[in-house]
Amino acid sequence: MTNSIKLYGPRMGSSLRTHWVAAELGTPYETVPVDFSKGEHKGEAFLQINPMGQVPALVDGDFNLAESMAICSYMIEKAGSDLGGKTAQQRAKAWQWSLWAALNLYQHLATLASPAWTQQPLASDVETAAKAGAAKYLPVLNAHLGTQRYMAGDSFTVGDINVATVLAYATFAKLDLSSYPNVTKWLAGVTDRPAYANASGAAKA
Ligand SMILES: N[C@@H](CCC(=O)N[C@@H](CS)C(=O)NCC(=O)O)C(=O)O
């Protein structure tokens, strides 16, 4: 019997990129909801899958995996796809920008977005620091996308998915990106892909 991949986590936040990659690949999978309001993510059963008590997580038979970017890489490799990049250099660039976004931009955009789900305003010093962080890194991204169409060159890769799903927090943060025209143009292009609509739940049935 073949195992079907199970993806735990919603079609937003860090989990969104796992659904997006699966949709790009056409990988069949089962979505397993994790109800945060019931504390399911910190329950014993889920902690067996991800001891961090965070989504997303993947289960493939007796194999468990956490960390959204690792899950994306696993699905790409399992599918034998070049979505990770067509050459060693393109794969490395896709990783470079994925890590860049996760380690630099993400923390600031996630902080600015957090009132959207906590319903609590940010302390003004926290908000100022996060805005300064975003303003430091967004020009770097804008300059990069002024030199090439996609994050890792002339073709779409998981690097675009990983960076675009970090940028998605800007929407929740109500952050105006119009002074970064290369970013907004690229973001509009990659989120216009059918797989994005499918993954984010925006696709019409
Ligand atoms: N680096 C992790 C971050 C995962 C993460 O922060 N997940 C959030 C939802 S977007 C979560 O589960 N939060 C609950 C918690 O930390 O208790 C990844 O990319 O998978």
Span from the CA of 13 to the centroid of ligand 1 (angstroms): 8
Per-residue confidence (pLDDT) for residue 146, from 0 to 100: 98
What's the average model confidence in pLDDT over 64-69?
98
Minimal-distance CA residue to ligand 1 atom 1 = 67
C-beta of 17 in contact with ligand 1 (< 6 A) = no
Q: Please check whether residue 76 is in contact with residue 21, taking contact to mean a CB–CB distance below 8 angstroms.
A: yes
Span from the CA of 72 to the centroid of ligand 1 (angstroms): 15
Model pLDDT for residues 189-198, shown as the tens digit of each residue: 999 999 999 9
Q: What is the C-alpha end-to-end distance of the chain, expressed in Å?
A: 30
Span from the CA of 21 to the centroid of ligand 1 (angstroms): 18
Q: Which amino acid, residue 53?
A: G
Measured from the Cβ of residue 63, the count of other Cβ atoms closer than 10 Å reads 10
Q: Does the pTM exceed 0.75?
A: yes
Minimal-distance CA residue to ligand 1 atom 15 = 54
Torsions phi, psi for 99 (to 5 deg): -70, -40
What's the average model confidence in pLDDT over 73-102?
98
Distance of CA 65 to the CA centre of its chain: 16
C-beta of 67 in contact with ligand 1 (< 6 A) = yes
What's the average model confidence in pLDDT over 164-176?
96
Per-residue confidence (pLDDT) for residue 163, from 0 to 100: 98
- State the Cα–Cα distance between residues 39 and 32, nearest whole angstrom: 15
**What are 31's two structure tokens?**
């979505």
Model pLDDT for residues 96-115, shown as the tens digit of each residue: 999 999 999 999 999 999 99
Model pLDDT for residues 117-154, shown as the tens digit of each residue: 899 999 999 999 999 999 999 999 999 999 999 999 99
Q: Residue 45 above 50 pLDDT?
A: yes
What's the average model confidence in pLDDT over 67-92?
98
- State the Cα–Cα distance between residues 73 and 200, nearest whole angstrom: 19
Q: Please check whether residue 194 is in contact with residue 26, taking contact to mean a CB–CB distance below 8 angstroms.
A: no
Per-residue confidence (pLDDT) for residue 49, from 0 to 100: 97
Q: Which amino acid, residue 11?
A: R
- State the Cα–Cα distance between residues 162 and 205, nearest whole angstrom: 26
Q: To the nearest whole number, what is the mean pLDDT of the chain? A: 96
C-beta of 10 in contact with ligand 1 (< 6 A) = no
pLDDT band for 1, please (50, 70, 90 cuts): very low
Per-residue confidence (pLDDT) for residue 89, from 0 to 100: 98
**What domains can be seen in the chain, in order of their start residue?**
5-79 (3.40.30.10), 88-196 (1.20.1050.10)
